[in-house]
Amino acid sequence: MLDKAIALYPSLAKFLQQDIQEQCSYQHACEQLNQLITLDSF
C-alpha cells in the first residue's frame, strides 16, 4: 500500500494543482481522480 501511495504521489500532486482562473466541477474532478487512480493501479 505504501509503495502504491509513493508511486501515485507525483500524479496526485499534479492533479491537485489548479490555477486560480481554472474552473472544474466537482463531478469532473471526481471523474479525473478516479481515472488517475485507475490508470496508475498495479
- For the stretch 7-40, pLDDT in tens is 999 999 999 998 889 899 999 999 999 999 887 5
Identify whether 20 is part of a domain: no
Residue 13 lies in a domain: no
In a domain, 14, yes or no: no
The reply to whether 1 falls in a domain is yes
pLDDT of residue 26: 95
Residue 42 domain flag: yes
pLDDT at position 1 is: 80
Is position 38 within any domain?
yes
Q: How many helices (H) and strands (E) does the chain have?
A: 2, 0
- Quick one: pLDDT at residue 41? 58
DSSP letter assigned to residue 12: H
pLDDT confidence bin for 4, thresholds 50/70/90: confident
Does the pTM exceed 0.75?
no
Q: Which domain holds residue 1?
A: 1-8+26-42
Question: For residues 17-33, b (16+ Cβ closer than 10 Å) or e, as one string?
Answer: eeeeeeeeeeeeeeeee
**Number of structural domains found in the chain:** 1
